[in-house]
Structure 1
């Protein structure tokens, strides 16, 4: 069995079950075939039928032995071999019954019950012919170096896709170099058709050969085909997890570091999809430090230095400004060093690519960073540690289109992580840090200058996530948010209300001052209009109004806008869908009633 131990398998057995080797799978049908042949040779009746059966069995036995020789000399794609060997074993068991009945028996009674009909032999002969056809198909694949075949084995007659999948995976694993990219493209096409095909490719052991081709493919086309196939297969969390658990995630990261630009694009798209669908994949990529090559390339050719036209001063504040400018210069040099250490020989080729291809690569890398940072404190920290905030802010300022959007979405995900982690929020978004300041400046610029809701909404949401980092003096942040409360686009107005709600909520230390600022900047009238909009707008508007009532209920603006009536009217429809808000609404109504009553008594006492 030493030779059997050398034969590897591309599929994993069920958990807790030790899978047989390929040779063990083949030994049983060979042994059964020899026994049935011997029984056929000893037949006392139906000798011609038994002789014909023995010829089929001998041919099948020779094919099984050929498969054994191949398995000993070459690691095979074993999935179809195992399935076919199992089916052959069943057919050989069926062949034993009529052959045994033809052997000599004593006693008339036993002879009567051992009569074998021609129909029995025909049925068994048909089964053996199918097994011979299966082995012929299988050996034709193995003996032609795994080249893809369009023929159909009998075992897959009811499911032609199965034969197609087997043939393509075999070609990816064992085929000639020229065949492998075509076979991978075939798997990509099959996976794109439907989920059943994706599941079949996974179950038939297609992931590992594709990952290996992605890493070791002789041509860029083959590696792109492998990445595309994996991308199409991994459109669900379960299948993404299977790719991760193949223990070859490092293959994917390695390709990002040193490969042709078009391969990097395909692999970055794969990373983005996997990170988007599975949080475990995100953490695995973090462990392998995938953010480093992504950030290094994204920052390539960015001039991150800040130039000041102000004269040099020697005061302590001016020295602080000089230190900030030096920090920017250090960031630029760090990026250049990272970029040169990861691209290898492909850096020069990258520079020779067209601007369109280079832009496509950056778009893919930015999307991968976006998906990796989603809900991941560790990945967000990695990006921040690499001074990625400054890089992202610079791209948001200078670029347009998909690249700008992906970088803005990355910022949004990072700020969402920062919102739920105070330590990270304070470390990454201090106003005096270059990266945090640059991000804030660009978020405000997008909110005020851009007209595309696709850009404005994530920018507004990011500001809301950082609400607890701003002091009461940051009026430049509050004013544009309040202005958007009256935006004609209800989605933008709703997002502004949600962001302002985070400024005014009790968890914000400065909630009272922020609430007064919202009212002072004339935020109440557009808020009243928002309460008459759709369901989500009503909900966020109601939340903000409740906070304003709790923190600044004595405001004349609230009384003049008849906030109490609006609150009671809106609450009836909102509470039916969101009963969890009942306590907040009741408290806000109670305070507004009390404040109005006190105001009435005060006016009456003054009048008397």
Structure 2
């Protein structure tokens, strides 16, 4: 799928069979035997030569892949014809005896040349958009008789390069049909150069139907790392950023889905999207008709001023991107549209369902972009993304709410691993951080939906090191979830509480006491009788509590020491973390019982 930068120019490729054809025509005049057969060969070669010159006229503006393949096959047949005709020249007696030529040789040669003539006619037919022909050609050249898919793909890609807009839309749609659920066809489309003209069609801001057809085809191709990398290498990322900024909503939905799919399959491309600032238009689309100012005050002067400011920022960013586009290789895509419209009318006239679907797609794209990426997560927090996500969690039930929760889960996971991001985005006086935590707690307490509670609980756990000891409101709901009927929810609650009580948390002593005060020990003891994963994380949390609050009456009443001493050594051996924690926990509990306070 790699592009060979050392390939000959197309005019050089065509000059080789043209030179062979001219040599054959000269050699026919020198033939001393088989005059009639050589004359037929000359007639066939003359037709091929004329068609080669016709194809040469398209050089520089043609789709080259079928030309190179067919020219190579034609050259091979012409070499055979030249060898055969030269054997018919006047020779001495000995060479005539040694070199035996039969009628069968000429019959076979005529068949090969007929196949080359058919291939050349087919080649001219897919390029004849200026000669009254045009349209997508579905006939089969001889060269692809064993693999008709190849010739169809060639024809569709040629239509993308040279056809009228309606032909280009039809070709993109046909490529989508071929690519659906067939990885072999996807590979052929990519290998035969289908990506660049699809990106060019996507860049055409004057036809939403064309952009939709191109985005759909690219989405079907972008389901493995190699093809995703190819799309990115063909300047696909800046094209998508531009389309997200100034295309109709229907187009943006598909492009946001394409961004999510590409980011999911290639971490390098994911970071590339961040560098090209795809996050800003995604957040802007997500916040459309959504108030994302301070979550407490009602809509008023402050929010209006904010929207004026953010819209001005978007305009400046759009103008900057446009200037950069004019001075970059991306300008090669602008054959029809040298500038994009803002499609304000389309946005205002779209149905609520389309607007909602766009938000779902943008939220999913942000979720995938943030996954495992500190830099992308930081960009989301710097573009008012947290406030927007929090507001949508509050107001938009269903798939959009889930996608927003997953995005926050990934952002908080990145913040857990990066202290700088954690301090910048989730400082205690941040209105965005407060809004996020409020919505996470609301989901945990009020929505008894495990698929939503799980990312909310994980997010709170990731933020454990950002909470003060006096901010106990986040611990109570987590302790309540230890008794949840869904074992996954109970397990995630134990994991999250473990991040509050673990030694890496500066406030682990205070948090451990708070966890016990919320009556966590009884449900925690019940978790020890659950499945292996639940039992593991329950034991880890229990050890932390014993280490940091071993003098608690609740631990003594629940006979925690006996429970820890009764843990099967085989179970502890399977989990190195337990092998280390259990002896420490037992030691601390015994010391507290003996009146010794280890922490002093």
TM-score (normalised: structure 1): 0.88
Alpha-carbon distance change, 382 to 69 in structure 1, aligned in 2, over 3 angstroms: same
Q: Superposition pairs for residues 591-602 of structure 1, below 5 Å?
A: 591-595=584-588, 597-598=590-591
Say which of 220, 238, 255 aligns to 2:243. 255
Is this contact kept in 2: 1:297–1:339, CA < 8 A? Answer: no
Could you tell me which residue of structure 2 aligns to residue 375 of structure 1?
372
Deviation (angstroms), 1:280 = 1.9
The answer for the alignment partner of 2:102 in structure 1 is 117
Residues 377 and 567 (structure 1), Cα distance of their counterparts in 2 relative to 1, 3 Å cut: same
Following superposition, the deviation at residue 307 of structure 1 comes to 8.3
| Counterparts in 2 of 1:355 and 1:188: CA distance versus 1, 3 Å | same
Q: 1:121 to 1:444 in 2, by over 3 A?
A: same
Question: 8 Å contact 1:504–1:514 — kept in the other structure?
Answer: yes
Given candidates 427, 433, 450, the residue that maps to 1:453 is: 450
Does the C-alpha gap of structure 1 residues 62 and 557 become closer, same or farther in structure 2, counting only changes over 3 Å?
same
> Which of 153, 169, 173 is the matching residue for 1:185?
173
Q: Distance in 2 between matches of 1:525 and 1:189?
A: 58
Deviation at 1:230, TM superposition (A): 0.5
Which of 264, 287, 296 is the matching residue for 1:299? 287
Change (3 A) 1:264 1:338: farther
Correspondence list, 1:102-141, <5 A: 102-108=88-94, 110-141=95-126
Distance in 2, matches of 1:309 and 1:420, equals 33
Alignment of 1:159-558 (within 5 A): 159-216=147-204, 218-305=206-293, 331-338=306-313, 345-558=342-555
Contact persistence 2:205–2:243 (CA under 8 A): no
Preserved contact between residue 216 and residue 254 of structure 2 (Cα < 8 Å)? yes
Question: For the aligned residues, what is the CA RMSD?
Answer: 2.5
The CA deviation at 1:143 is: 0.8
| Contact in 2 for aligned 1:300/1:339 (Cα 8 Å) | no
Deviations 1:16-57 (A, max 9, x none): x42111111100011112112322332222222222122111
Query: Is 1:82 matched with 2:68?
Result: yes
Label 1:149 to 1:573 Cα distance change in 2 as closer, same or farther (>3 A): farther
Distance 1:67 1:180, change over 3 A: same
Aligned-residue offset at 1:66: 0.6
CA contact (8 A) 2:51 2:120 kept: yes
Correspondence for 1:33 among 3, 9, 21:
21
The size of the alignment, in residue pairs, is 570
Q: Per-residue deviation at 1:111? A: 1.9
CA distance in 2, matches of 1:260, 1:600: 70
- 1:564, CA displacement in angstroms? 4.7
Counterpart CA distance in 2 for 1:547 and 1:326 is 49
Aligned CA distance change for structure 1 residues 573 and 39 (closer, same or farther; 3 Å): farther
What are the Cα deviations for residues 424-482 of structure 1, in whole angstroms up to 9, with x where unaligned? 11111112111111111111111101121121111111111111101111211001111
The CA distance in 1 between the partners of 2:186 and 2:571, in whole Å, is 43
1:333: Cα distance to partner? 4.2
Q: Which string of whole-angstrom CA distances, capped at 9 and with x for unpartnered residues, describes residues 189-221 of structure 1?
A: 111131111111110001100000000264211
Residue 295 of structure 2 contacts residue 435 of structure 2 at CA under 8 Å; is this kept in 1? no
1:13 and 2:3 matched: yes
